[in-house]
Structure 1
Amino acid sequence: MPPKVEQASVVALADDKPERDDELPRRSCPPVHYEVKINSVTELLKLDTYESGVFEAGGYEWSLRLLPKGHTDRTGKEYMSLYLSMEKPNKLGDRERVKVDYKFFVFNNISRTYVTFKEKGKELRAFTKATTKWGLSKFLSLETFKSPDNGYCKDNYCKLGAEVMVSKSKRKMETVTIVKDPPQNTITREIRQFSTSNKHPQYSKAFNVGGWDWKLKVFPQHIGAQQGKFLSVYLQAQGLRPRIKMYVKAKLRALNKNRTNDKEKTVSGWLSDENYNCGRSDFMPWGDLEKPNGGFVNNKELAFVVEILVISNVQRRDESI
């Protein structure tokens, strides 16, 4: 028999394994990734190990390993142990780490809710070729599990499950700088060869403010009860990168010969490569353009002053976690 000091050392090592968090809330919805109903708890408790079927989560395959008598503490109290195992870990690269936030669940037949079990004070665990399982050696005491008063066993069956949230090895890091009044932020642009008889969009030449290219887009309003009664004016970003969203706020002013008759609107929005316009569908009455000597269309040009008031600059990078 080994010396007592060595026995104490072994027990201490076992007790240093992940502990269960006892303060998680219960819930009525079942685990989203896997659930198993085990018939005959009596026979289950005779097994050394129960291994579940394989289930998929986060692009990887997993299974559960339940040891009905997996751990005995220094007082002689017996515990069930439950582990999450990665299937086919040899498919991982030698240095690849799959970080996972996992939870276990047991159904309580009295409250009709799922009791959640999670490691205490730990959010992510790394699975590798060498480390293929994580879990709770003291998942649930046998005494607690078997007692009818606790609701885990009913008619000799039990239900347990798992949720596995895989965290990718890299995450997107984004830095957003919101700039007020960027340099050289006021530009005059004309819609050349503008015609009130043209019902299709007409554009200005591109201009650069805040490091981005822009155009003005104008056309008769074509949606709703006021169709054709207003000039729609939009500020259009050019060449936005995929998955980037950029905020812009600007003043758009249509110039009249009589400057006291200028039409001005403030526009704003979050732009992307799929939604790169912000503006007003009712910028000004269409009839104002067609008034004799109205003063907005001069030598077939409709001129605007664009003032970029606020713009957000975004930088993105991948960061290992």
Structure 2
Amino acid sequence: MANLEFEQDGVSTPFSYTPPTHYTLKIESFSLLKKLNRFESGEFDAGGYKWKLVVYPNGYKKKNAEDHISVYLEMAGAESLETGWEVFVDFRLFLLDQNKGIYLVLQDANLNKMCLHVAMLEVGFDRVIPLKSFADASNGYLIDDTCVFGAEVFVCKERRAGKAECLPRINNAVIVSKENNDFLHKKENNDFMNKHVWKIEEFSKLTPERLESKPFNAGGQTWKIVLYPKGMNDVKDTHVSLFLKLANPEKLSTASKILAQFTLRIVDQLSAKHFFRQASHCFRASSPSFGWSNFIMLGFFKERDKGYLVMNTCVVEAEVTVPS
């Protein structure tokens, strides 16, 4: 294996023959992933919290890490925690050398505990490895367009502080025509984004546990928004659950994968401070939906001054981008 240079200060890079304890992410089509700026894994549990791995396949540009792989650990479901929370973690991220069957381990060189809070939901490494070195099969990290990442997360300390408030930022805001709730945008990189608006009336009188929007098209596929008005599974009666799903997964072959980057949003009808979440996911016939069971707390959603439920009506939006 070639001698690799890791350019981020304060990072220790030992090797391990033992797989990561808490989570492994295998990406079988990295070339497709490179069409996205950011990819989020599914959620996993560790230390009593939910987490995700976040991969920037072309580097995290805000950290001036172009031409590198950037990998981060992100806390999921933080909006369900008490205000003013802090969680201190000892974490390690992994990258598999498939030639030797060993893992490169990325960790703080001084073994410092990292503090996560409402203003900092992710920690990680800006410059894990140069893209040129990563793509060199002799290094073993990308073989047949496949790579493997992993994570270990150990919670060291938790703390609650005073009240806090966060106003989410909305990127690339779009004005919706009242005459047409479905429309298609062609972005500069030739990917296609479709935005679908779903108006749900008489919300408090809904009796079905699960609602589905009308089908809409994006990237040559048909999609639906799925909403559980009173939540599902372990968050039933405490949250609203929201998902994006393929409308006709049975039409896909078992080997087909649809890589999509999407935003699900509940519209603030009073002041446009919308509540939203974003993700990237490979949709398959065996895994046709992705989203959040704990999308938003039910009590918070129903507060009159938030604007999410006005005249017993809510508005849900989905923006779906499928690489061309």
**TM interval, short-chain normalised:** 0.3 to 0.5
TM-score under structure 1 length normalisation:
0.44
Q: Highest Rg: 1 or 2?
A: 1
TM-score under structure 2 length normalisation:
0.43
- Structure with greater strand share of residues: 1
